[in-house]
């Protein structure tokens, strides 16, 4: 079974893939869209896509692609992001002058880099930076990347878990071209992901959201973005706790639909254990 993801081997998406599907064959892709297309074309079983990070925030490109991808969300995965300083074998920390990585990761290790007077260099991505260091003979170069990247590219870890925020976590969505029907069970917790556009009437969004409040349904995520290249048409993405067959969720969705011109369920799936223990 192949799982497609955006990035190089050793990226955090690759690590998430290995955790969620330990026996799967990773299929690295250049873009999120390519990773999703591999599923639609039957080359991979699933695509694993990052959508938000507890430190950095949302992955805007992913949210834009999800509604029109033609795929369904069948699972979520939370990855604890550990950042290591990786260098050529035998190099000491005192020799390191520069650290290369994606700009997001560079911003998450400022304390360590400042302490050791290491200059930041922006790279295309994390695992790609590790690959560049592994192919270089420059002992002063290092990369900020996952422990997995260090293993794959034969680099030593001169700094382990050096991230500033020790609760740094990324949420991934697992996408399939087949809808998975999880039947409602009272002893299980579910998430439902939806996209919708409200009607062009006064207070439509306020009225549409009212059903979740009155029916005691928790909405944990709400994103908005423009569609059709206009400033007047807005689409919303939302994650809610519960299953559509659950009575209170059904009532809330019925009220939402009444005030929308477009509504679609992108996926119904079980909550990841991370939610259960961090709620």
Active centre residues (catalytic) = 170, 172
Q: With the CA atoms of 90, 91, 94 and 95 taken in that order, what torsion angle do they form, in degrees rounded to the nearest 10?
A: 150
From the number of C-beta atoms within 10 Å of its C-beta (0-12, 13-18, 19+), residue 172 rates as: buried
Contact 236, 260 (CB under 8 A): no
Q: Strands 25-29 and 46-53: what pairing?
A: unpaired
Burial 10-38 (b: 16+ CB within 10 A, else e): bbbbbbbbeebbeebebbbbeebbebbbb
Count Cβ atoms below 10 Å from residue 119 Cβ, excluding itself: 11
Contact 210, 157 (CB under 8 A): no
Quote the distance between the C-alpha of residue 11 and its chain's center: 12
């Amino acid at each position: 079974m192949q799982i497609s993801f955006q990035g190089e081997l050793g990226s955090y998406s690759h690590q998430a893939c290995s955790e969620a599907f330990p026996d799967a064959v990773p299929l690295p892709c250049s873009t999120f869209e390519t990773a999703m297309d591999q599923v639609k074309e039957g080359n991979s079983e699933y695509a694993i896509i990052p959508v938000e990070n507890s430190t950095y925030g949302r992955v805007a490109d992913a949210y834009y692609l999800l509604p029109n991808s033609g795929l369904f969300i069948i699972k979520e995965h939370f990855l604890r992001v550990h950042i290591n300083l990786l260098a050529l074998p035998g190099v000491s920390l005192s020799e390191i002058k520069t650290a290369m990585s994606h700009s997001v990761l560079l911003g998450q290790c400022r304390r360590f880099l400042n302490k050791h007077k290491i200059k930041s260099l922006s790279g295309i991505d994390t695992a790609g930076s590790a690959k560049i260091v592994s192919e270089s003979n420059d002992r002063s170069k290092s990369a900020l990347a996952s422990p997995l990247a260090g293993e794959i590219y034969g680099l030593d870890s001169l700094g382990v878990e050096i991230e500033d925020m020790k609760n740094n976590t990324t949420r991934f969505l697992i996408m399939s071209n087949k809808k998975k029907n999880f039947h409602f069970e009272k002893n299980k917790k579910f998430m439902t992901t939806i996209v919708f556009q409200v009607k062009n009437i006064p207070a439509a969004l306020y009225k549409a959201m009212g059903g979740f409040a009155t029916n005691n349904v928790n909405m944990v995520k709400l994103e908005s973005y423009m569609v059709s290249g206009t400033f007047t048409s807005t689409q919303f993405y939302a994650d809610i706790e519960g299953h559509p067959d659950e009575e209170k969720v059904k009532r809330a969705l019925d009220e939402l639909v009444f005030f929308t011109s477009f509504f679609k369920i992108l996926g119904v799936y079980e909550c990841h254990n991370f939610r259960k223990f961090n709620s």
